[in-house]
Amino acid sequence: MRREIPLILTGIVGITFFVQFFVPHSPMRELSETFSDWYSIISAFAIWLGGLNLMKISFEKVYKKDKDWFFAVTTIVSFFLILIVGLFFSGGRQYLEQGSGYDWLYRNIYSPLSATMFALLAFFVASASYRAFRARNAQATVLLLAAFIVMAGRTPFGDWITVFLPEGWRLSNLSNVIMNYFNVAGQRAIMIGIALGIVSTSLRIILGIERSHLGGE
Amino acid sequence: MGKKVALGICIIIILPLLIWLVYLKPGPSSVSYPPYDLTAISTPFDTAGSVTLNWFCLEGDNDSAATFPNYNILRSQAPEGPFEGIGSVGFEYPRATDISRQYRDTAVVAGFSYYYKISCDLQGETIESNIFGPISPVMAAEAAKVEVPVDKSDIMVFPPTQLRVFDTPNDAGGSITLEWKVSASDAAKSLLFNGYDIYRSTSAEGPFEKVGETTGGVSDVDRQVKTLRDGKDIINGQEYYYYVAAKWDGQEANSEIAGPAVSRQQWFHTGRGVSLVLLGILIGSILYFINRAKAGKELFIRKIAGLEAVDEAVGRATEMGRAIFYVPGIQDMNNMQTIAGLTILGRVAKLTAEYETKLEVPVSRSLVMVAAREIVKEAYLNAGRPDYYNDDIVYYLTDDQFGYAAGVDGLVIRKKPATVFYQGAFFAESLILAETGNSIGAIQIAGTAMPAQLPFFVAACDYTLIGEELFAASAYLSREPKLLGSLKGQDLGGKLIFLSLALIFVIIATIGAFSQNAVISDTIQRMFNVN
Amino acid sequence: MSSEFGIWLAAFFTIGIASFLYKDNPLYKFCESVFVGISAGYWAVALFWENLITKMFDGLGISYSLGLWPEKGALQDIFSGVWNWNILHVLAAILGIMMLMRLFPKIGWIARWPLSVIVGSTAGLWMITYFQSNFLSQLQKTVIPLFDIGRINELSEIGAVMAEQGRSIPLDNYFAAYLGNLVLIFGTLAGLVYFYFSKEHKGIFGRTAKVGIYFLMITFGASFGYTVMSRMSLLIGRLYFLFSTWLGFVN
């Protein structure tokens, strides 16, 4: 019950998807579409487990007067704030519409937080580049060189420092060559490897050979 | 040696099979007769009875043609001839459309059958058209203005020809595909051409009902055909008849009625035969080597640096008395990378249990949280340390990409783990996480199959599992023969087959390119088409 | 300077998150905890309306029965004798409830059932889609002639045009014609050899694998360099918000 049925379910559902790819006949497509919908429904149930877990941890911090207990309070307050506003005070299904409370929270709190976090990448890219500059070996040097050529080649700076070369043979052209050929070849090798890895892992899962994701007895 | 022979035999069997699969056509298709593609109809609305011919202009016969030889119109009453000249059309005559010409043969007798062809002497070479026929002129009951030769202002709309209707291939029924040679009046950029109406009936006699319409233009330039799929209330097993009407500036011209076509469900997707063969070989090879491994055959697997370092990384955390963070990516259980990442978590958790090192797994999806708990619990049990396990090892932060990144960053900077694993699907947050981990001096082992994020992990982490290595990690770490067998299987059934096919077809394609043979490269490209 | 409360709030959170670059501090901790809480709630709300209500309750026809939604669903269809696949969403709801059984340690193991359905469908779907998009179509793109004859023939034409303008043929064109396909084919195959697990990387095989890893490094470098600029524009976007929308310095 605990282990066999999940293994059988995994196998049946996995094989259904495999078969529907080659067999257009009904009901294969309908079944696979239904299974895909199931994921969204199950995850809509499951997300409450996560929310509850977050609240449990936060409440524990407050209860135990953890060092940062105050920040656990802000997590609790903001979680319930958007939850209550989104579920009850944002016009139901029209919760995304402009002017709803949910939308206000999204635009003025969630969105700037998210955008700023994303923007921090500019600094992290800089520090990662700096680390790459201290190229430790031949491979890292090649990586750095390719990065430099492509980065410079995409700005006027690249052509400016290679102005002594004839037009058409400058850094922007070299950058194109790297992007369109060397880069594509490498990408392809990676993609093919990924395909093989996925086929192999999927097969092991469908056949129940790889079963660690299901836990034990 | 046996392996090489087996591979050779495999390739010899696959090659003809692949080529055969390419020519396994899913349905009938219209015939094309370049360069003229001559068609003819009995002229509608001509009470005297005449035949109107239509053909595509030859190269050079365009607006800027100053001299272009005449097209000679040849006619016969039998397909084998003899053909006699009945007239000619020169470049000074107006064309029917930008790409086609028309000619009206009035010297015909209603009820007789005629065959036509066109010939043109271009640069010392006689270019002949296909022979079109038999065609019998029919006297129309109601007259309309028809002039000879066709004047630009008084062009007759030419109907779609060669209408074919057939069951849409490779589907679950409920659809019939129509294919017709586009009307000669259907010229690109023609403002007068208004597209086509589709009429359908369940009997050849009618009544026909309009079931759809479409714009002008071709679906397949080479064959000058337009394809349309009619899926409007089609019942499987029912016979349907169709005709298509070309609309031109108020006029309409109907094609002949085609049918019956019956929609059915197919049991095999013929466009995916090549996939089935190649995927079958891959799967077969994986299963074969799993079985061999089960039988106790020793397998060699090369070292993967990132995975060799796992022991060391866990050991270091133990020595330093600090925690290990395991980040399984920001995607859910409907992503294979997450699942692969979680199988690695199982192996890592077993080590942390053995070393009694603190493990923390912050996750961004609830389903991942549930799965990760099962996995870690099982690992602790297997390591004989169930007492060491509690649910709080795995905890949820938020489903949000950057919210999660902000949360993990805060945890990492405050708890200063000795080792951080990033295994799974990552997006832009990859570098935010890896750089923060780097700033506290943690050993970092990353693994992902997101090509766009790999460079950042490579730059900011100590070890990175690249693409396929992520999926191989579980097998590698477990050292289970069955799992290792599957690695060998994907090497032989996937990479070796890819290498062999690529080399063979690159050589063939090169020969094709040097001999200017378009069929070769076309066949090769079609063989590996994704349908 | 903006007088809108929302803008001030947004500016506060922008600065708060950015302060992490200096060091971990109470302001960042505050923003982080708000971010985690608000985004967790954000997705819970979104999934509730999009998946639970729209997919399940509407799809099944429960919303219709309760008079909350004008369109009929699977239940109404089934009762009027028409088959509707959405009726299987009932099973999904059962699986969803099984998932919630995790809250009760005694029967929590039943959550493995829904999990195994999801894992199974993921495995089946990914196996075929990745085989097609990443294996077959990459094979198609790799089986090309060693030289691009069409481009080689074009070179003289381009050369004539360029010569009229007093310029030489660009590097890109030469490369595309003579070396492009060669690099694509050989690079792909060498990269693939690098991933080969079950054969020791020595001799010619090892050297090819070595070339393969260099190709991968060039790829990583190229996409690193390519992304850097776009990351800078994100930063500029945030600075623009602070200096223009909030402080009103720039128009």
Q: Describe chain C by its helix, strand, coil percentages, rounded to 5.
A: 80, 0, 20
CA distance B375 to B386: 12
Taking residue B119's Cβ as centre, other Cβ atoms within 10 Å add up to 19
Q: Which residue of A has its CA nearest to C128?
A: A18
What are the contacts of B392-395 at 24+ separation with CB within 8 A?
Answer: B392/A57, B393/B359, B393/B360, B393/B361, B394/B361, B394/B363, B394/B369, B395/A53, B395/A54, B395/A57, B395/B360, B395/B361, B395/B362, B395/B363, B395/B369
C52: nearest Cα among C101, C100, C115, C112 = C100
Q: Which residue of C has its CA nearest to B494?
A: C135
Distances (CA, A) of C17 to A77, C34, C80, C92: 19, 11, 57, 39
Residue type (1 letter), B515:
S
Q: Mean pLDDT throughout B445-451?
A: 95
Residues B192 and B282 in one domain: no
pLDDT band at B64 (very low <50, low <70, confident <90, very high): confident
Q: Is the pLDDT of residue B147 over 50?
A: no
- Provide the pLDDT for residue B143: 54
Annotated domain spans of chain C:
144-251
- Provide the pLDDT for residue B32: 63
Percentage of chain B modeled with pLDDT above 70? 91
pLDDT band at B453 (very low <50, low <70, confident <90, very high): very high
CA distance B45 to B43: 7
Interface contacts (A, B; CB < 8 Å): 204
- Say if B20 falls within a structural domain: no
- Provide the pLDDT for residue C75: 92
CATH of residue B440: 3.40.50
Percentage of chain B modeled with pLDDT above 90? 50
Q: Which residue of A has its CA nearest to B456?
A: A128
Residues B65 and B133 in one domain: yes
Residues B420 and B491 in one domain: no
CA distance B402 to B427: 10
Count of structural domains, chain B: 4
Q: Is the pLDDT of residue B144 over 60?
A: no
CA distance B166 to B259: 8
**Rg, Å, chain A Cα set:** 26
Q: Which candidate from A105, A119, A187 shows the least CB-CB separation from C234?
A: A119
The segments of chain C whose pLDDT lies below 50 read none
Q: Is the pLDDT of residue A91 over 70?
A: yes
Distances (CA, A) of B345 to A15, A204, B353: 26, 17, 12
Angle made by CA atoms C203, C208, C211, in degrees to the nearest 5: 130
Annotated domain spans of chain A:
4-88, 122-210
Q: Mean pLDDT throughout A46-56?
A: 96
CA distance C86 to C172: 54
Q: Is the pLDDT of residue B26 over 60?
A: no
- Say if B475 falls within a structural domain: yes
CA distance B377 to B96: 79
Please answer yes or no on whether B468 and A117 come within 8 Å at the CB atom.
no
Note the pLDDT tens digit of each residue in B345-401: 999 999 999 999 999 999 999 999 999 999 999 999 999 999 999 999 999 999 999
- Provide the pLDDT for residue B188: 62
CA distance C38 to C140: 47
ipTM above threshold 0.90: yes
Q: Mean pLDDT throughout B54-82?
A: 83
- C-alpha B93, offset from chain centre: 44
- Say if B440 falls within a structural domain: yes
Q: Mean pLDDT throughout B399-417?
A: 96
- Say if B15 falls within a structural domain: no
Please answer yes or no on whether B279 and C131 come within 8 Å at the CB atom.
yes
- Say if B11 falls within a structural domain: no
Q: Mean pLDDT throughout B330-343?
A: 94
Taking residue B189's Cβ as centre, other Cβ atoms within 10 Å add up to 8
Give the N- to C-terminal CA distance of chain C in Å, as an integer: 11
In this structure, what DSSP letter does residue B92 have? T
Q: Is the pLDDT of residue B45 over 70?
A: no
Q: Which residue of A has its CA nearest to C94?
A: A42
- Which chain B residues are Cβ-neighbours of A213 within 8 angstroms? 339, 342-343, 346, 371, 374-375
CA distance B209 to B341: 57
Q: Is the pLDDT of residue B268 over 60?
A: yes
Are the C-beta atoms of residues B28 and B124 closer than 8 Å to each other? no
Residues B137 and B247 in one domain: no
- Say if B26 falls within a structural domain: no
- Provide the pLDDT for residue C167: 81
Are the C-beta atoms of residues B21 and B529 closer than 8 Å to each other? no
Beta strands in B77-183 (DSSP E): 84-89, 100-105, 114-122, 125-128, 132-135, 161-167, 176-181
Q: Which domain holds residue B182?
A: 157-267
Q: Which candidate from C39, C123, C201 shows the least CB-CB separation from B398?
A: C39
Domain boundary among B139, B155, B171: B155
CA distance C113 to C98: 8
Domain boundary among B248, B267, B286: B267
Q: Is the pLDDT of residue B288 over 90?
A: yes
CA distance A72 to A56: 10
Residues B107 and B174 in one domain: no
User: What DSSP string describes C15-63?
Assistant: HHHHGGGT---HHHHHHHHHHHHHHHHHHHHHHIIIIIIIIIIIHHTHH
- Say if B99 falls within a structural domain: yes
Q: What is the mean pLDDT of chain B?
A: 86
- Provide the pLDDT for residue B398: 96
Note the pLDDT tens digit of each residue in A12-23: 999 999 999 999
- Provide the pLDDT for residue B142: 60
pLDDT band at B155 (very low <50, low <70, confident <90, very high): low
Give the N- to C-terminal CA distance of chain B in Å, as an integer: 37
- Which chain C residues are Cβ-neighbours of A80 within 8 angstroms? 41
Q: Which residue has the tokens 């298509």?
A: B244
CATH of residue B246: 2.60.40.10
CA distance C208 to B239: 60
- Residue A90 or A110, more confident: A110
Note the pLDDT tens digit of each residue in B158-185: 788 888 888 888 888 889 999 888 877 7
Nearest-Cα distance to chain C for A160, in Å, is 17
Residues 6+ positions from B320 with CB-CB distance below 8 Å: B418
Note the pLDDT tens digit of each residue in C203-224: 999 999 999 999 999 999 999 9
Q: B359-363 and B394-396 as β-strands: parallel, antiparallel, unpaired?
A: parallel
Are the C-beta atoms of residues C190 and C211 closer than 8 Å to each other? yes
- Say if B7 falls within a structural domain: no
- Provide the pLDDT for residue C41: 96
